[in-house]
Structure 1
Amino acid sequence: MQLNNARILLTGATGGLGQALAQQLAADGARLLLAGRDTARLAALNAALGGEHSSVRADLTRPEGVAAAAGAAREFGANVLINNAGVGGFGLYERQDWDEIDSLLATNLAAPMRLTHALLPWLKARPQAVIVNIGSTFGSLPFAGFAAYSAAKAGLRGFSQALRRELADTQVAVIHLAPRAIDTPLNSDAVNALNRALNNRSDDADAVARQVVAALRAGDGERHFGFPERFFAWLNGVAPTLIDRGLAGKLAVIKQHAPTR
């Protein structure tokens, strides 16, 4: 897709990856509708980008927030939806409160599905449209200590693949992107400590944003970012017991760093 012709609804715009994406997309000529929960931060981001864009305050875990974002996107003339909003969820499953799990599923899976559902008739009527879902390596490589998060991201990947196949006879492309760990405030102190203990690699938000923009330009259906993570994600698909054995040796470290609450 030519980004200078793109009018993009970007959710999670004020997060670490969201801001990096907004800066790179705007620099490439795209017009942005920035969506988030904090009006002041949205205004500050718009000002930093040059004030040529627009914003909508929307809590996408609530029906009225989805309606507000979808209505603003139609008025804006959006032809690209980037479902970027998300929350982390490190913790042993039995110790996590159900409210925390419910919020994680609502933000990472239900919200992008709801917003896509609300906008799909509009996007199908555009001459060209793209839906980009920002997933995670853990959607293809489920990880101990991230059971609910992995489930949500695996669901988002399955949704993306099925929807892409369902829309194959339309002008709407569906792209699923799976970064590995990203250095953003989304990571808690416990997650950062775990990554150090396991020597897990993470990427700068700007570097991930560049890969997202490149995938949007190329129109790729699916990309996994980072090696060896993308190899292990592939291996989990063909020989999951090998991954079971490999992660079993890391379980004690994961439990040591998992929050006690």
Structure 2
Amino acid sequence: MTPSDASVVLTGAAGGLGSAIARQLKKDGATLLLVGRSAGPLLSLAQSLKGDPQNRSDVDVLVVDITTDHGRAAIIDAAAARQANVLINNAAVAAFGPAQDLQPELARRMLETNVLAPMLLTAGMLPMLCSRERAQVLNIGSTLGSVGVPGFSAYGASKAALRIYTEALRREFADSRVQIQYYAPRAIDTDFNTPQIVAFNKATGSPSDTPEAVARQVAHMLNSESRQRFAGRTEALAARLNGLFPECLDGAFGKHRRALESLKLTPGAS
């Protein structure tokens, strides 16, 4: 779908990656419904994107919590009013640290945001999207959802769930008007990464990308309608190898275990 034909619902729009995606899609000519929980950053982003005072309808804001029934219903109503034909499930919560330190409240919040909310929002929007001439659902995953990395057991599990959901959905809607897509970034240079994660990535030599570079890839995916894409050649290869021979990669994560231990994380760090 060309950007000029896209009416996009973008969740997690106020975050570092979300705002970069919004700027890229707006530059490419898409209309946007920016969704998030933080009114201040969301409104500031929308204001910065509204260039033409005669055409303010190309960017709109909806401040809601996507983990609630009320919030998702509001998104669906607003999307219908704007005749949305693209849903980008980008909102996410991070979790990092030793597996034994995972706190129940963080685990619940992460799974609700990273897995349950996009599943239920997508389910609610699918009838509307199926009525469009063309429509797309793009789920933002992670390479950690395909390769288990020490320190990211819970977060990786949430993204693995989203990946499998996307895969099943793509096959279920293969003969429909709705294209189902999955993009898996590697580490991104945003505040989503805590200082502990930044230190861990540095210690393990894990590469990262700017949010602008990732946003360009997201825009490319929408335009090309490709089904699945992983950031980085090494990460894409690791995901394929891990899918075929997961035990063969077990020995490659010694430095990750050592880095995790050396950080001396406090319980519940994320």
TM-score scaled by length of structure 2? 0.94
Structure 1 runs (4+) deviating above 6 angstroms are none
**Equivalent in the alignment of 1:49:** 49
Partner of residue 207 from structure 2, selected from 179, 183, 201 = 201
- Deviation, structure 1 residue 115: 0.5
**Equivalent in the alignment of 1:154:** 160
- Deviation, structure 1 residue 71: 1.2
Q: Write the mapping of 1:21-60 to structure 2, written as runs, cut at 5 A.
A: 21-50=21-50, 51=56, 52-60=58-66
TM-score scaled by length of structure 1? 0.97
Q: Percent of pairs identical after alignment? A: 42
User: In the alignment, is residue 74 of structure 1 matched against residue 80 of structure 2?
Assistant: yes
**Equivalent in the alignment of 1:130:** 136
Supply the distance in 1 between the matched residues of 2:240 and 2:262 (Cα, whole angstroms).
28
- Deviation, structure 1 residue 258: 5.6
- Deviation, structure 1 residue 249: 4.5
Q: Write the mapping of 1:1-261 to structure 2, written as runs, cut at 5 A.
A: 1-50=1-50, 51=56, 52-257=58-263, 259-261=265-267
**Where do 5+ consecutive residues of structure 2 fail to align?**
51-55
Tell me, yes or no, if the aligned pair for 1:135 and 1:176 is still in contact at 8 Å: yes
Tell me, yes or no, if the aligned pair for 1:92 and 1:258 is still in contact at 8 Å: no
**Where do 5+ consecutive residues of structure 1 fail to align?**
none
Supply the distance in 2 between the matched residues of 1:135 and 1:67 (Cα, whole angstroms).
23
Deviations 1:178-227 (Å, cap 9, x if unpaired)?
00000010000000000111111000000010011111100000000113
Q: Which moved more, 1:64-73 or 1:192-201?
A: 64-73
Could you say what secondary structure the match of 2:233 adopts? coil
Tell me, yes or no, if the aligned pair for 1:14 and 1:36 is still in contact at 8 Å: yes
Letter in 2 for 1:39: A
Letter in 2 for 1:2: T
Could you say what secondary structure the match of 2:32 adopts? strand
**Equivalent in the alignment of 2:53:** none
| Residues 173, 243 of structure 1: alpha-carbon distance in 2 compared, 3 angstrom cutoff | same
Supply the distance in 2 between the matched residues of 1:21 and 1:158 (Cα, whole angstroms).
23
Matched length: 261
Supply the distance in 1 between the matched residues of 2:136 and 2:28 (Cα, whole angstroms).
17
Q: Which moved more, 1:60-69 or 1:123-132?
A: 60-69
Supply the distance in 1 between the matched residues of 2:63 and 2:87 (Cα, whole angstroms).
16
Tell me, yes or no, if the aligned pair for 1:181 and 1:203 is still in contact at 8 Å: yes
Letter in 1 for 2:42: L
Deviations 1:155-180 (Å, cap 9, x if unpaired)?
00000010000001110000000000
Letter in 1 for 2:32: L
Letter in 2 for 1:27: K
Letter in 1 for 2:19: Q
Supply the distance in 1 between the matched residues of 2:176 and 2:235 (Cα, whole angstroms).
33
Deviations 1:214-256 (Å, cap 9, x if unpaired)?
1110000000011311111111111111211111343121222
Letter in 2 for 1:20: A
